[in-house]
Homo-oligomer: A and B are copies of this chain.
Amino acid sequence: MNFEFSQDQELLREQARGFLDENCSLSDVRKILEGSESYDSGLWSKIADLGWLSTVIPEEHGGLGLTYYELSVIAEELGRAIAPVPFSSSVYLAAEALMLAGSSSQQQKWLPKLAIGEAIGTFALAEGAGRPTPKSLTTTASNSSISGTKIAVPDGDIADFAIVVAKCDGGDGASVYLAELADVARRKVSVIDPTRSHAQLQFDSSKAELMGSEGTGWSLTSQLMDRAAVMFAWEQVGGSASALDQAKEYAMGRYAFGRPIAGFQAIKHKLANAYVKNTLARSNCYFGAWALAGNEAELPLAAATARVSSTQAYYFASKENIQTHGGMGFTWEFDCQMYYRRAKLLSVALGSELWWQDRLISAYERSNQPITA
């Protein structure tokens, strides 16, 4: 049995945490929260220099060609640090989509740029309330141009290109296009977590290249969701663990009625429950990483399991972290809010808890292998 990160991977974690402690403290994150910058460009370029962006990009495209285990380690640490950078859009979504369905010319053009942070990419699916379906999707495509409005697109204001899901009459009802955004009308929109910027993209017969073959848009999106969900889950688990640390530290040093509030069972059991949720979610993320790294048949089930449990764990830990801080936790000057905001953004970003719960059971129905717990 070897169901643990390797020593090299743990070494990478140490380096990543050390780097982020130094370059992405909560006060650094707060600068983005309170400022007008879309992201921490200084941190972003340092991250690019470290090669994190290129972790799983093949060497022929200027990447390191490492495994998803290394990327998992980085994702967890970025989540722990609530890093205000377009990492998830550019790496988990854009690069992933290119590797999944990009033509070799598309890959040759964009992967090297993504690998060194020279370009930022994103993925554009949502168009408003609810999750688009083949029926409700309104963005249209006609010979290498697309029209329609996408909102909210993560990092849409800073991305160089977006992978766009557009309606298509044939096939499964949609196709995926790669659209450069330089000439696209975009408006920055504010979201629950201002440390991550979002935009509305207005495509108006905008030039776009088909990715993969016509009419495979939904199946590509579905595969992309599974792959990205594992990495999002790692970020969620990292943030959740960090929120629990913060709550515990505060409770140890906060005295009421002559004793640390960490000594009251109401607080002890609250945080013990957060620890339990985090531990289960984290173990499910291991499963997700394993399935992603080996491109196993279990990926859809593993991704949904990691996603659902980490979404629930982060919501619980981030709200109970505020609760443990009492009134001070509700003040702007305290940092509790950052976990609480990021937790919610991540939980709607790839599809809600409801959507992933349903997806989990669907995956189980397909695989239907009893687990021996």
Give A residues with C-beta under 8 Å from B. 264-266, 269
- Point out the residues of chain B lying under 8 angstroms from A264, CB to CB: 265
- Point out the residues of chain B lying under 8 angstroms from A269, CB to CB: 265-266
- Point out the residues of chain B lying under 8 angstroms from A266, CB to CB: 265, 269
Q: 5 smallest A-B Cβ distances: which pairs? A: A265-B265, A265-B266, A264-B265, A266-B269, A265-B269
Once the chains are docked, how many angstroms separate the CA of A264 from the CA of B264?
Answer: 9
Once the chains are docked, how many angstroms separate the CA of A266 from the CA of B264?
Answer: 9
Measured CB to CB, the closest approach of chain B to A250, in angstroms, equals 18
Measured CB to CB, the closest approach of chain B to A290, in angstroms, equals 35
Measured CB to CB, the closest approach of chain B to A271, in angstroms, equals 13
CB<8 Å pairs between A and B, sample of 5: A264-B265, A265-B265, A265-B266, A265-B269, A266-B269
Measured CB to CB, the closest approach of chain B to A67, in angstroms, equals 43
Once the chains are docked, how many angstroms separate the CA of A265 from the CA of B264?
Answer: 7
Once the chains are docked, how many angstroms separate the CA of A208 from the CA of B295?
Answer: 64
Measured CB to CB, the closest approach of chain B to A81, in angstroms, equals 34
Measured CB to CB, the closest approach of chain B to A211, in angstroms, equals 42
- Point out the residues of chain B lying under 8 angstroms from A265, CB to CB: 264-266, 269
Once the chains are docked, how many angstroms separate the CA of A90 from the CA of B337?
Answer: 57
A266 to B, closest residue via Cβ: B265
A269 to B, closest residue via Cβ: B266
Once the chains are docked, how many angstroms separate the CA of A264 from the CA of B266?
Answer: 9
Measured CB to CB, the closest approach of chain B to A361, in angstroms, equals 16
Once the chains are docked, how many angstroms separate the CA of A53 from the CA of B266?
Answer: 47
Once the chains are docked, how many angstroms separate the CA of A171 from the CA of B3?
Answer: 62
Once the chains are docked, how many angstroms separate the CA of A265 from the CA of B266?
Answer: 6
A264 to B, closest residue via Cβ: B265
Once the chains are docked, how many angstroms separate the CA of A266 from the CA of B268?
Answer: 10
Measured CB to CB, the closest approach of chain B to A102, in angstroms, equals 46
Once the chains are docked, how many angstroms separate the CA of A266 from the CA of B269?
Answer: 8
Once the chains are docked, how many angstroms separate the CA of A269 from the CA of B269?
Answer: 11
Measured CB to CB, the closest approach of chain B to A344, in angstroms, equals 24
